[in-house]
């Protein structure tokens, strides 16, 4: 049985990122920082000021 791929590339990336699990606290912090950086970048891109 094959997995059905999402047509939306963004959803594929979200799915892939949610499946990651940190091995140790340092890696967990790095994953969290990456998430924060993406949110900050997205907020800057949507800034209307």
Q: Residue 31: exposed, middle, or buried by beta-carbon count in 10 A (0-12, 13-18, 19+)? A: middle
pLDDT above 80: residue 19:
no
Helix (H, G, I), strand (E, B) or coil at 40: helix
Helix (H, G, I), strand (E, B) or coil at 24: coil
Q: What's the predicted TM-score (pTM) here?
A: 0.54
The 10s digit of each residue's pLDDT in 2-11 is 566 657 777 7
Which of 43, 17, 11, 13 minimizes the C-alpha distance to 30?
17
- Tokens 């091995």 sit at which residue? 23
User: Taking the mean position of all CA atoms in its chain, how far away is CA 11?
Assistant: 10
| pLDDT higher at 3 or 18 | 18
């Amino acid at each position: 049985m094959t997995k059905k791929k999402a047509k939306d590339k963004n959803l594929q990336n979200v799915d892939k990122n949610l499946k990651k699990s940190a091995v140790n606290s340092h890696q967990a912090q790095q994953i969290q920082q990456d998430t924060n950086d993406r949110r900050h970048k997205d907020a800057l891109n949507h800034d209307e000021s």
